[in-house]
Amino acid sequence: MAEQRPSISVVVITRNRAEWLKEALDSLTRQSRKPDEVVVVDNASEDHTGDVIRAFADKLDIKYVYEPVRGIPRARNAGVRNAVGDIIAFIDDDCVADRDWLKYIEIPFVKDPNVGVVGGEVSYDRVGSGSVEAFYIENMNRGTVAK
């Protein structure tokens, strides 16, 4: 009954954000609905990103893909090419997923076979105390913004 319980691949593209990537991957280990696979696309990082990914090998079914040519669309496509799931879910390396993220992502796909894309809420969390961040957060948290 593949249509009732599809497989989900999470793709994370990353570049030089090893510490933040660690938090992102950590949030994937705590999902109420476990991902069937995690594909991390290393877009030519120069830090210890590789080590971080390897450390998660026993906690997640993690696949490491190296993409030397920089560029977001290219990296995402590399992730898709290497993913095998029925659903491909993207999350950025500077994000942390809520515990029920994948649970809620899955629902519209399962319920309606005509749904092709599901987008979720991105809420902007404070990191430092800069005014630029404060400004950004106040103005962006009213909904995911269009540019």
Q: Considering only CA atoms, which of 93, 77, 82 is closest in space to residue 17?
A: 93
For residues 11 and 90, the answer to whether their CB atoms sit within 8 Å is: yes
Give 74's DSSP letter. H
Residue 88 to residues 48, 74, 79, 116, 147, Cα–Cα distance (Å):
26, 15, 9, 11, 24
Nearest of 23, 21, 32, 38 to residue 87 by alpha carbon: 38
**Nearest CB to another protein, comparing residues 57 and 135:** 135
- Binding part of the chain for another protein, among 43-51, 59-67, 68-76 by CB under 8 A, reads 68-76
Which window, 42-50, 51-59, 60-68, 71-79, contacts another protein (CB under 8 A)? 71-79
Following DSSP, what letter does each residue of 23-71 receive, concatenated? HHHHHHHT-SS--SEEEEEE-S--STHHHHHHHTTTTS-EEEEE--S--
Site for another protein in 100-139 (CB under 8 A): 100-105, 107-125, 127-128, 130-137, 139
Residue among 4 and 58 whose Cβ is closer to another protein:
4
Judged by CB under 8 A, the stretch of 36-44, 47-55, 59-67, 78-86 that binds another protein is 78-86
Binders in 29-48 for another protein, by CB under 8 A: none
- Which residue, 57 or 125, is less far from another protein as judged by CB? 125
Nearest partner of 133 among 94, 98, 101, judged by Cα: 94
Under rule CB under 8 A, residue 50 binds another protein = no
Q: Note the residues at the interface with another protein (CB under 8 A).
A: 3-5, 8, 20, 71-74, 76-77, 80, 83, 85-92, 94-98, 100-105, 107-125, 127-128, 130-137, 139, 142-147
